Structure 1
Amino acid sequence: MALETTLREPVQLTDPLEVEPPAPAPGCDVCGALLKQWRQATEKDGHAYDLSHATDLAVEIKRHPHAWQKEKRS
Protein backbone atom coordinates (compact mmCIF):
# COMPACT_ATOMS: atom_id res chain seq x y z
CA MET A 1 0.00 0.00 0.00
CA ALA A 2 1.36 3.42 -0.97
CA LEU A 3 1.75 6.22 1.53
CA GLU A 4 -1.01 8.84 1.16
CA THR A 5 0.19 12.44 1.16
CA THR A 6 -3.15 14.21 0.76
CA LEU A 7 -6.35 14.29 2.77
CA ARG A 8 -9.32 12.37 1.48
CA GLU A 9 -11.85 14.97 2.64
CA PRO A 10 -11.51 18.77 2.68
CA VAL A 11 -10.68 20.38 6.00
CA GLN A 12 -13.59 22.25 7.61
CA LEU A 13 -12.55 25.30 9.62
CA THR A 14 -14.77 27.35 11.88
CA ASP A 15 -15.07 31.09 11.50
CA PRO A 16 -13.11 32.59 14.43
CA LEU A 17 -15.42 35.62 14.45
CA GLU A 18 -18.52 33.48 14.96
CA VAL A 19 -17.75 31.80 18.25
CA GLU A 20 -20.14 30.57 20.88
CA PRO A 21 -19.74 32.12 24.31
CA PRO A 22 -18.01 29.88 26.84
CA ALA A 23 -20.28 28.10 29.30
CA PRO A 24 -19.70 29.39 32.86
CA ALA A 25 -20.61 27.26 35.84
CA PRO A 26 -24.08 28.14 37.13
CA GLY A 27 -23.98 30.44 40.15
CA CYS A 28 -20.22 31.05 40.01
CA ASP A 29 -19.43 34.76 40.40
CA VAL A 30 -15.89 34.35 39.06
CA CYS A 31 -17.12 32.62 35.89
CA GLY A 32 -19.79 35.30 35.51
CA ALA A 33 -17.20 38.09 35.73
CA LEU A 34 -14.95 36.29 33.22
CA LEU A 35 -17.89 35.88 30.84
CA LYS A 36 -18.61 39.63 31.09
CA GLN A 37 -14.97 40.34 30.17
CA TRP A 38 -15.20 37.82 27.31
CA ARG A 39 -18.26 39.59 25.89
CA GLN A 40 -16.45 42.94 26.06
CA ALA A 41 -13.42 41.45 24.32
CA THR A 42 -15.58 40.09 21.48
CA GLU A 43 -17.58 43.29 20.79
CA LYS A 44 -16.19 44.44 17.43
CA ASP A 45 -16.80 48.15 18.11
CA GLY A 46 -15.94 48.01 21.81
CA HIS A 47 -12.96 49.63 23.47
CA ALA A 48 -11.81 46.26 24.86
CA TYR A 49 -12.00 44.33 21.55
CA ASP A 50 -9.23 41.72 21.60
CA LEU A 51 -9.87 38.23 20.26
CA SER A 52 -6.63 36.89 21.71
CA HIS A 53 -7.72 38.00 25.18
CA ALA A 54 -11.19 36.56 24.53
CA THR A 55 -9.60 33.19 23.81
CA ASP A 56 -7.59 33.37 27.04
CA LEU A 57 -10.76 34.19 28.98
CA ALA A 58 -12.65 31.28 27.42
CA VAL A 59 -9.87 28.90 28.46
CA GLU A 60 -9.87 30.37 31.97
CA ILE A 61 -13.64 29.89 32.27
CA LYS A 62 -13.33 26.28 31.11
CA ARG A 63 -10.50 25.54 33.56
CA HIS A 64 -11.86 27.44 36.56
CA PRO A 65 -12.13 24.92 39.42
CA HIS A 66 -15.34 24.46 41.37
CA ALA A 67 -16.06 22.47 44.53
CA TRP A 68 -18.37 20.03 42.73
CA GLN A 69 -15.63 19.28 40.18
CA LYS A 70 -13.14 18.51 42.93
CA GLU A 71 -15.66 16.10 44.53
CA LYS A 72 -16.03 14.20 41.24
CA ARG A 73 -12.25 13.62 41.04
CA SER A 74 -11.98 12.20 44.55
Structure 2
Amino acid sequence: MFTIFFIALLLWFIGSVLRLAIRATWGITKIVFSLVVLPVVAIVAAFAGLMTIALPVLLVVGIITLIANLIRG
Protein backbone atom coordinates (compact mmCIF):
# COMPACT_ATOMS: atom_id res chain seq x y z
CA MET A 1 0.00 0.00 0.00
CA PHE A 2 2.79 2.40 0.89
CA THR A 3 4.61 1.48 -2.31
CA ILE A 4 1.66 2.52 -4.46
CA PHE A 5 1.33 5.77 -2.48
CA PHE A 6 5.07 6.44 -2.84
CA ILE A 7 5.00 5.76 -6.59
CA ALA A 8 1.99 8.07 -7.07
CA LEU A 9 3.67 10.91 -5.15
CA LEU A 10 6.94 10.35 -6.98
CA LEU A 11 5.21 10.56 -10.36
CA TRP A 12 3.39 13.72 -9.27
CA PHE A 13 6.69 15.26 -8.14
CA ILE A 14 8.49 14.31 -11.35
CA GLY A 15 5.63 15.74 -13.40
CA SER A 16 5.70 19.06 -11.56
CA VAL A 17 9.48 19.34 -11.87
CA LEU A 18 9.27 18.49 -15.56
CA ARG A 19 6.65 21.21 -16.11
CA LEU A 20 8.86 23.73 -14.32
CA ALA A 21 11.87 22.70 -16.40
CA ILE A 22 9.94 23.09 -19.66
CA ARG A 23 8.68 26.54 -18.67
CA ALA A 24 12.17 27.67 -17.67
CA THR A 25 13.70 26.30 -20.85
CA TRP A 26 11.08 28.04 -22.99
CA GLY A 27 11.83 31.34 -21.26
CA ILE A 28 15.57 30.94 -21.73
CA THR A 29 15.06 30.00 -25.39
CA LYS A 30 13.00 33.12 -26.03
CA ILE A 31 15.66 35.31 -24.42
CA VAL A 32 18.50 33.70 -26.38
CA PHE A 33 16.65 33.99 -29.69
CA SER A 34 15.66 37.61 -29.15
CA LEU A 35 19.06 38.78 -27.86
CA VAL A 36 21.49 36.63 -29.82
CA VAL A 37 20.11 34.76 -32.82
CA LEU A 38 17.91 37.42 -34.47
CA PRO A 39 20.53 40.20 -34.37
CA VAL A 40 23.22 37.84 -35.64
CA VAL A 41 21.00 36.72 -38.53
CA ALA A 42 20.24 40.34 -39.41
CA ILE A 43 23.94 41.30 -39.35
CA VAL A 44 24.97 38.28 -41.42
CA ALA A 45 22.23 38.98 -43.96
CA ALA A 46 23.30 42.62 -44.22
CA PHE A 47 26.97 41.71 -44.72
CA ALA A 48 26.04 39.03 -47.25
CA GLY A 49 24.35 41.64 -49.41
CA LEU A 50 20.82 40.56 -48.55
CA MET A 51 19.73 43.97 -47.34
CA THR A 52 16.46 43.62 -49.26
CA ILE A 53 15.64 40.67 -46.98
CA ALA A 54 17.25 41.94 -43.76
CA LEU A 55 15.49 45.31 -43.69
CA PRO A 56 11.90 44.02 -44.03
CA VAL A 57 12.56 41.29 -41.46
CA LEU A 58 13.93 43.91 -39.08
CA LEU A 59 10.91 46.15 -39.65
CA VAL A 60 8.40 43.33 -39.12
CA VAL A 61 10.10 42.17 -35.91
CA GLY A 62 10.24 45.78 -34.68
CA ILE A 63 6.54 46.34 -35.36
CA ILE A 64 5.58 43.07 -33.65
CA THR A 65 7.70 44.01 -30.63
CA LEU A 66 6.12 47.47 -30.48
CA ILE A 67 2.60 46.03 -30.63
CA ALA A 68 3.43 43.40 -28.00
CA ASN A 69 4.78 46.07 -25.65
CA LEU A 70 1.71 48.25 -26.15
CA ILE A 71 -0.63 45.34 -25.45
CA ARG A 72 1.30 44.30 -22.35
CA GLY A 73 1.07 47.81 -20.97
TM-score, structure 2 length as denominator?
0.40
Structure label with greater radius of gyration: 2
Greater fraction of residues in helix: 2
TM-score, structure 1 length as denominator?
0.39
Q: Whose relative contact order is higher, 1 or 2, with alpha carbons under 8 Å and at least 6 apart? A: 1
